[in-house]
A = this chain, B = another copy of it.
Amino acid sequence: MTRFNEIDTPAILIDLDRAEANLHKAQQAADQAGLKLRPHIKTHKLPFFARRQVELGAIGITVQKLGEAEVMADAGLTDLLLTFNIIGAAKLARLRALHDRVTIRVVADSTECVAGLAGTFTDPARTLGVFVECDTGMGRCGVQSPAAALELARTIMAAPGLEFAGLMTYPAAGKYRQAAQWLSEAKTLFEAGGIAVPAITTGGTPDMWHMQDAAAIATEYRPGTYIYMDRSQVAAGAASYDDCALTVLATVVSRPTENRAIIDAGTKALTSDLLGLVGHGHVVEYPEARIARLSEEHGTLDLSDCARKPGIGETIRIIPNHCCPVTNLFDRVNLVRNGELVETLAVVARGRVD
């Protein structure tokens, strides 16, 4: 038996019981709201947890990259939503190969994107489902108005090999009401135009406990971070530190001054994501410590507020600001239960940049 603090550092620890509890709680909330759950695997990047999410009731998974879709299809996942515009011949060919073996749907927010899909998928007997991505306040991808959504849906429907799958949005955090309003207007417009909207899919962990509100208009919900939670979700009120399943185990390698500790986890372990927060993470064993600065391989802790201070060689656990990109930095994660190492898994979908 290996205790978690015997694992060489830096390393990712996943508390299995916490992750499992997070999965159950979200599935339950979705069930109660009458929403289908389609978790985003970008957070864990592991077939192990993707399969578990489906076992617990998810209707399928969400991926952001073709490379992630390929890994998950290889691992036996059969119902995928790829929430990213697929542009260019190389990617369209990969999408086609995926579509030949699993149920995969995609999004589009422009006629250019739809034209690429329409040129690749031409078989009316084996259509590709395409959601219209809607910018409901995030200011990223998406058509800018319900009228534009309707127009693009008509373009999709005019292509023999494509099928209009519904509306998709990633709402800005805290703006779920604004997103619901946008989608309601769109749905009304579509129905007035005689077009059924088969599904409306929304997402985001920060607002997932308002799923009941989302259910007034949406049919599917795509949370990602909820499986592990992190410091930004605690700040957003979506979780407590006791819900956080992912920590980065680090070692104190230097204590140059009374109030400074240097750990072996920098941006290459924690990323430099701040997400509006001050400091680079929460130290479980020393909650008063501030992770004041990161360079690539060093983290600088300010211990001014700590009554007790860690010594050289001591290990600490850090709840990162943003857990999703952290799993992208490690080849392996360590699954832990009651402080004991259960299994080490390769992060199979790590680094799937395209």
Q: Taking beta carbons and an 8 Å cutoff, which residues of A are in contact with B?
A: 8-11, 42, 64-65, 84-85, 87-88, 90-91, 109-110, 112-113, 135, 139-144, 251-257, 260, 262, 264, 267-269, 271-274, 295-298, 300, 311-313, 324-325, 328-331, 351, 353-354
With both beta carbons as reference points, the residue of chain B lying nearest to A260 in the complex is identified as B139
Query: What B residues does A140 contact at CB under 8 A?
Result: 254, 256, 262, 295, 298, 300
Q: In the complex, what's the smallest C-beta–C-beta distance from A84 to chain B, in angstroms? A: 6
Q: Are B328 and A254 in contact (CB under 8 A)?
A: no
How many protomers of this protein does the assembly include?
2
Q: In the complex, what's the smallest C-beta–C-beta distance from A301 to chain B, in angstroms? A: 11
Q: In the complex, what's the smallest C-beta–C-beta distance from A208 to chain B, in angstroms? A: 18
A11 to B143, CA, bound (A): 27
Q: Known contacts A11-B354, A141-B262; is A110 also within 8 Å of B267 by CB?
A: no
A88 to B262, CA, bound (A): 15
Q: Known contacts A65-B297, A251-B88; is A267 also within 8 Å of B8 by CB?
A: no
A87 to B253, CA, bound (A): 6
Query: What B residues does A300 contact at CB under 8 A?
Result: 139-140
- List, sorted by A's number, 20 A–B pairs whose CB atoms are closer than 8 Å: A11-B353, A64-B296, A84-B264, A110-B255, A110-B312, A112-B312, A139-B260, A140-B295, A141-B298, A142-B256, A267-B271, A267-B273, A268-B325, A269-B353, A271-B272, A272-B272, A272-B325, A328-B329, A331-B351, A351-B351
Q: Are B141 and A256 in contact (CB under 8 A)?
A: yes
Query: What B residues does A252 contact at CB under 8 A?
Result: 87
A328 to B272, CA, bound (A): 14
Q: In the complex, what's the smallest C-beta–C-beta distance from A166 to chain B, in angstroms? A: 19
Q: In the complex, what's the smallest C-beta–C-beta distance from A16 to chain B, in angstroms? A: 22
The one of B88, B254, B256, B274 in contact with A272, judged by C-beta atoms closer than 8 angstroms, is B274
Query: What B residues does A256 contact at CB under 8 A?
Result: 109, 135, 140-144
Q: In the complex, what's the smallest C-beta–C-beta distance from A312 to chain B, in angstroms? A: 4
The one of B273, B296, B312, B313 in contact with A42, judged by C-beta atoms closer than 8 angstroms, is B296
